[in-house]
Chains A and B, each alone.
Chain A
Amino acid sequence: MLLQFNGYHGTNLSAAKQIISSNYELSVGDDEWLGDGVYFFIKGISSTPEVQAEKWAIAHSWDNTRKARRYKRFCVLSSVIQVEEENFLDLTNEDGVEILSYLFDKFEKKLKKLGKGFKPVDGLLINLAVGEGILPIEVVKGNFYIKFAKERIKRINLRTSNSTICTVYNPIKNIISSNIIKIGDIKDETK
């Protein structure tokens, strides 16, 4: 069964234009999330993922080292994501969690023969499963606690998820279309 849903990606204006002209590039090194892929906010915990994408683009514009904005104009893209059900790992339900747990269990048991132990990190496990072809994963969905500008400034750090995130590992195959739905200026004050 073919699944189709909208994903919202927040970024800066020049990156958005690049995406429209030549598709997304994978975000690499997000081992604490869902591995190397293109990240989207989707409907789930929040009914307004497009607002979350905007808030993310604004939060991400701040360079804490330089104490300055990386960019002054944000952009929200809406993308249509298509994936066959057998290639879709849903970590918001029991079936998906069971798959990831089984994978880590096998991984851990194998390496115990060397007397080695590893911390289970979701993103690294997914990278291993995708990269080595262990599982036919093309798109993964999960719930996370995302820190937007307010949470970063006020140092709010909850364990309760506030966002549903979807990651696409092969954008050429699974992203059917993308459109810019909002462009805006970033104000220096965060309300």
Chain B
Amino acid sequence: MSLAENVLQIIEQAAQEQGFGRVRTVVLEIGQLAAVEPEAMRFCFAAVMAGSIAEGAALEMVTAPGAGWCLQCAASVPLTEQPGACPRCGGFRVRVTGGAELRVKELLVE
């Protein structure tokens, strides 16, 4: 819920800076390993945007792929889950390096 409120703050600030009055679509970039439940975000998004310039806006979520650094292989590897095994060696000594993103990527406005 507080994430949805932060999204609205970002939208309202952008509206002031760039002078738009309505938001039709909000595109969020959510990392594969970020602790965000898409359905929960949809529910909170609608509730928080109600009464704002983004009331009724569509929410699109783009997934950023998970990535890690395997300490065993000393290599960057893709990660799809947390905890995730290294796809090369099967070990779990993998430090997460990507996929934790939570960003407002773009807005479709009028």
A complexed with B: no
Interface residues of A (CB under 8 A from B): none
Residues of B within 8 A of A (CB): none
